[in-house]
């Protein structure tokens, strides 16, 4: 395997976990060019909760998709632990997403016929952990998110907030360096939404995970270490 294709460990003590430089993403709709991101610069430090606020259509989801390797930039760079994700072969991008990046979406995308424990266990199976390790880690993260009494409940037996907690447990199960959360409180009531945001802050402290939350929810400001505003594909004030 070539050196530039390996997922290498980096010393992050003095480095940004994620560095976005001059990021542009242009979509083509027929003959029209639609710019979603226009030269975004962003740096995410290890172990921080960072909020990305903006209206619908401001480019929040596109930015998260580029950082998470789900989309490729039209121009600019996205560096994760010093590596350029945009130039990374797809098989290594998949490996990166399985091991180093957790995703939490507004729609939880849980397997409805699987219990909370089985939903989390599946993610660990994909990462190659043995059965005993999977069981221990599964129970650990479900307890961490406050679901110790609902380990064997299926999603349709849980409230919306509890389902989102299962999604978060699944996202942190592999001990990723980064969690990307796209409107994680969008379908929740105010009180439950604040509980989820507080949970992200708690997880960042307990697991040392960087959390990037894209949201229009003003409540996120209380729980975030840093808040950025995205307007028309640009970081406001940058």
Radius of gyration of the CA atoms of the chain, in A:
18
- Cβ contact 202:209 at 8 Å: no
pLDDT over 90, % of the chain: 79
Asked if residue 238 has pLDDT above 80, the reply is no
Query: Considering only CA atoms, which of 106, 101, 107 is closest in space to residue 88?
Result: 101
pLDDT value, residue 86: 86
Phi, psi of 182, deg, nearest 5: -105, 110
Query: Considering only CA atoms, which of 52, 49, 51, 43 is closest in space to residue 14?
Result: 43
- Give the global pTM: 0.89
Asked if residue 4 has pLDDT above 50, the reply is no
Which are the contacts of 45, defined by CB distance < 8 A and separation ≥ 6? 16, 17, 210
What is the average pLDDT across 109-134? 92
What is the average pLDDT across 46-51? 96
- Cβ contact 40:20 at 8 Å: yes
Please report which confidence band the pLDDT of residue 229 belongs to, taking 50, 70 and 90 as the band edges: very high
Span 206-222, pLDDT tens digits: 989 999 999 988 999 99
Span 124-180, pLDDT tens digits: 998 888 999 999 999 999 999 999 999 999 999 999 999 999 999 999 999 999 999
The span from the first CA to the last CA of the chain, in angstroms, equals: 39
Please report which confidence band the pLDDT of residue 7 belongs to, taking 50, 70 and 90 as the band edges: very low
- Cβ contact 173:141 at 8 Å: yes
pLDDT, mean over the chain: 90
What is the average pLDDT across 40-67? 94
Asked if residue 34 has pLDDT above 50, the reply is yes
């Amino acid at each position: 395997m070539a050196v530039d294709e390996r997922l290498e460990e980096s010393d992050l003590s003095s480095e940004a976990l994620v560095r976005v430089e001059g990021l542009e993403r242009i979509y083509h709709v027929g003959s029209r060019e639609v710019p979603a991101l226009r030269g975004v610069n962003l740096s995410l430090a290890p172990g921080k909760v960072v909020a990305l606020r903006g209206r619908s259509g401001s480019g929040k989801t596109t930015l998260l998709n580029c950082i998470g390797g789900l989309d490729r930039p039209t121009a600019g760079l996205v560096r994760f632990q010093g590596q350029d994700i945009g130039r990374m072969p797809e098989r290594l991008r998949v490996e990166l997403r399985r091991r180093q990046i957790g995703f939490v979406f507004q729609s939880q995308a849980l397997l409805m016929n699987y219990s909370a424990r089985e939903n989390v266990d599946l993610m660990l199976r994909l990462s190659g952990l043995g059965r005993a390790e999977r069981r221990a880690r599964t129970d650990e993260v479900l307890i961490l998110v406050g679901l110790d009494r609902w380990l064997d409940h299926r999603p349709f037996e849980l409230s919306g907030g509890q389902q989102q907690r299962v999604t978060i447990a699944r996202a942190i199960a592999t001990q990723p360096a980064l969690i990307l959360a796209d409107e994680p409180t969008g379908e929740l009531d105010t009180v439950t939404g604040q509980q989820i945001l507080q949970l992200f802050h708690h997880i960042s402290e307990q697991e040392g995970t960087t959390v990037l939350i894209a949201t229009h929810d003003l409540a996120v400001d209380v729980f975030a270490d840093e808040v950025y505003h995205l307007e028309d594909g640009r970081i406001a004030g940058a």
